[in-house]
Amino acid sequence: MNIETALKEAMAIDGALGAALVDYESGMTLGVSGGGRELDLEVAAAGNTEVVRAKARTLESLGITESIEDILITLDQQYHVIRLLNRGGSQLFFYLALDRSRANLALARHSLRRIESEVDL
Where in the chain are the domains?
3-118
Residues near 114 by Cβ (< 8 Å), separated by ≥ 6?
A: none
Question: What whole-number distance in Å separates Cα of residue 93 and Cα of residue 85?
Answer: 5
Residue 18's nearest CA partner among 35, 6, 32, 4 is 35
End-to-end Cα, the chain, rounded Å: 9
pLDDT given at position 99: 94
pLDDT given at position 13: 95
15-50 tens-digit pLDDT: 999 999 998 888 888 899 988 888 888 888 889 999
Question: What whole-number distance in Å separates Cα of residue 47 and Cα of residue 43?
Answer: 6
Question: pLDDT averaged over the chain?
Answer: 89
Domain boundaries 3-118, corresponding CATH code: 3.30.450.30
pLDDT given at position 87: 64
In three state form, how does the secondary structure of 14-53 look? CCEEEEEEEECCCCCEEEEEECECCECHHHHHHHHHHHHH
The proportion of the chain whose per-residue pLDDT surpasses 70, expressed as a percent, equals: 97
pTM equals 0.88
Q: Provide Rg for the chain, Cα atoms.
A: 14
